[in-house]
A and B are shown apart, each in its own frame.
Chain A
Amino acid sequence: MNWEKIGDFLLSFKKKSIYLGMFILVSIPLIMKMSTRTYITEEVESIYDKVEEVYEYNQENPNDKQAIFVSIDFAPSSKAETSPMLNALLRHAFMRDIPVLGWAGVRTAADYGIERLNSVAKEYGKKYGEDYIYLGIAYPFLQAVLSLNSDVRIFSSTDYYGTDTYEIPIMKQFHSYNNIGLLVSISSTSLSELYIQYSNTLFDQDVAAGVTAVNAARLYPYLQSDQLVGMMGGLKGAAEYEQLVNKLEKKVIGEDVKNYLREFYKKKDPSEYEKKYYEPKFTETQLINKMNSRKLARMGMSSQAVAHFYVIILIIIANVGYFIKRKYE
């Protein structure tokens, strides 16, 4: 047998054919709309549990509620991983009637952030200024994080829409770490580490992070030392949270979410809702998108799994080829 030729062959795959293989393999699960079930890791479940804890606290103390603070620290270019996390987290909070405060940690997230908040709030009929608020860009970042210790209204005199923050109802009760049960930084940058460094270290604020996979490895030490409540890492983390929230949704809303959403605004008075934030009705295309967004990460995960297998096989082939070649040269 001509081992050298085999070795050469194993190492001779052209880059373009490798790309083509990846293209085809990733497309198949997406075309078939396959969505996988994934196992739940401890670090994701602890974020979910913490949100549930806030919910239970709010049930017991209706006059002294806790809110969830969401820092949107990613540019739309990394939304593939982070947007499903944000979606799942906001759905969880709104489903549990937890007030949500948000801002953008990076400038490029400013418009994208409010678009996401309004879009998810619409699914649960939440009202801007009463149930959630978006403060625009947290710039300069350090001062912003610091101001949350006393009163964020001093730092951010207006919200994203330019309204005076002292006149917004939700801000009367929720404007500092005192009433924030959990701060979540959904990030493609290193800002989540800064929240650990300032919010957690200085002010004992519970912090959780949802980060792109590139940053995930760096945050594990903080999980081990309990400086982070939990972490969603990459699409896998997002898929886990999505799965947990979907399970809860089935319990709270029922099996037929699509129909529920279709009927949602039919019973309500449209004049209650300001059109500036969202239109109080769903079109059929929107409904399809809403349903798709409920399995966004898990759908991605099936393609992801296939891609990973593909690359593992390629690595094995190339290594075998490399060893054969080295041995017989």
Chain B
Amino acid sequence: MKKIAVLIIIIAFALMSAYGQNDSAPIEPKCKLEVEDVKNDGGTKAEVYITPQNNPEEVDEYNLKIFSEFEGQKRKLKDIKIINNQKRIRIPVNTDNVNTNVIAEVYVQQEGQSVKINSASVKTKGAWFDIKLINSFVAAIFFISLIMYLVSRARKGGSLFVRKIPGLEEIDNAVGRATEMGKPVFYIPGLSTIRDVATIASLNILRSVGQKVAHYATPLKVLNRDPVVLGVAQEVVHEAYLSAGRPDLYNEDDVYFAAGSQFAFASVAQGAMVREKPGAVFLLGMFWAESLILAETANSVGAIQIAGTDATAQIPFFIASCDYTLIGEELYAASAYLSRAPKLLGTLKAQDYFKAVLLAVTILALITNLIGIDFIIDYILK
């Protein structure tokens, strides 16, 4: 009986002391705080991770403050309440400068006071090389070396095959028909400047048209909008007539400046077409909203029209109203085919090879993706 009484007393004491301990020692607010620099960026970003380590009953919310410190200047970036759900939370941080100290501090409310329980910091670093774009870098290097190799091969006289564009024989037909009807040929090398690839391609085709026209002694009119293009066009036509052995037929005034502004040009060209009734009209180069005005007028005077542009929005109008249209890249290909200029030929060939590689990679990616291998789409095409 005594023993039992002693036991009860001991248990009672133990319980009381346990209770008393609970009462006197307060819970310790804890959390895990990680501050990490974002790799592979310009050097301004960091990430803060906070993982609460108390039960929600013990601490229901934490207060996270994030500061940036650059050249001694400390600035508060964020001041966030983190509700304790015992999960790891990611907070992205952006600073304004590279090499900034990002400082994170966690506070908890205790007895009406905010108490700092944890802090961490990191210095942001900038990367010299953007790993994310390495696929583009490799592709660019590959493409550029392809161009350089093929251009140099074309320069050395290596044979580079380019197939004939179906529209090209139409050029001969058009010039031939204009000659039969005894009507002039009109050529408009687009409305853009000499810096536009389409303009350059068009001027190459103009050379070949000029030779044919000179051969048949058919009058040729070239209407220009840009003064620099005008100068080049005059030179090109003159040279074409020379190479065809008919420099006597060349008249500088036939290659002329029509107008500087877009729609003024369109109305001048329209007027000229209505007055002179050309047998063939070439609209090759860069065109904008005036495309339909030009094509429709040429159609109304009964001319054969060959058009070509890389302006996607204008191709439909040309297709609807012209006899033959060179679509997009066909314009460049036609110019390379006709001029045989090494630079153009080499570039066109390089594009072809590059396209072939991309096509192969895409097909491979499609197949591997179907069987569950994502290597290509994750690392090459991304």
Contacts and interface: CB of A to CB of B under 8 A. Distances in A.
* Direct chain A–B contact by Cβ atoms under 8 Å: yes
B94 A63 contact: no
Interface in A133-150: 149-150
A245 B80 CA distance: 31
Interface stretch (B71-79, B154-162, B228-236, B252-260): B71-79
A20 interface: no
B80 A176 contact: no
Given A63-B78, A63-B79, A149 B312 contact: no
Interface in B306-342: 312-313
A215 B313 contact: yes
Given A214-B313, A215-B313, A178 B44 contact: yes
B96 A176 contact: yes
A251 interface: no
Nearest to B78: A64
Contacts of A176: 94, 96
B78 A218 contact: no
Interface string B11-44: 0000000000000000000000000000000101
Nearest to B75: A172
A224 to B, nearest CB: 14
Contact of B42 (A63, A149, A217): A149
A179 interface: yes
A36 B217 CA distance: 60
A14 to B, nearest CB: 13
B337 to A, nearest CB: 27
A151 B312 contact: no
A64 B77 CA distance: 7
B85 to A, nearest CB: 15
Contacts of B312: 217-218
B42 A150 contact: yes
Nearest to A213: B313
A150 B80 contact: no
B94 A61 contact: no
Interface in A203-218: 214-215, 217-218
B66 to A, nearest CB: 9
A217 B313 contact: yes
B40 to A, nearest CB: 11
Contacts of B133: 201-202
B218 to A, nearest CB: 31
Contacts of A214: 313
Interface string B65-100: 000000000001111100000000000001010000
Contacts of B44: 150, 178
A178 B79 contact: no
A179 B94 contact: yes
Given A64-B78, A149-B42, A178 B313 contact: no
Nearest to B94: A178
Nearest to B136: A201
B313 A61 contact: no
A176 B96 CA distance: 8
Contacts of B80: 61, 63
Contacts of B313: 214-215, 217-218
Contacts of A61: 78, 80
Nearest to B66: A64
A63 B80 CA distance: 8
Interface string B127-147: 000100100000000000000
Interface in A159-185: 175-176, 178-179
A63 B94 CA distance: 13
B319 to A, nearest CB: 14
B96 A151 contact: yes
Interface in A115-162: 149-151
Interface string A53-92: 0000000010110000000000000000000000000000
Contacts of B78: 61, 63-64
Interface of B: 42, 44-45, 76-80, 94, 96, 130, 133, 312-313
Sorted from nearest, which 7 A-B pairs have the closest CB atoms? A178-B94, A214-B313, A64-B78, A63-B79, A218-B312, A63-B78, A149-B42
Given A63-B78, A150-B96, 9 more contacts: A63-B76, A63-B77, A63-B79, A63-B80, A149-B42, A176-B96, A178-B96, A202-B133, A218-B312
Interface of A: 61, 63-64, 149-151, 175-176, 178-179, 201-202, 214-215, 217-218
17 contacts: A61-B78, A63-B76, A63-B78, A149-B42, A150-B44, A150-B96, A151-B96, A175-B96, A176-B94, A178-B44, A179-B94, A201-B133, A202-B130, A214-B313, A215-B313, A217-B313, A218-B313
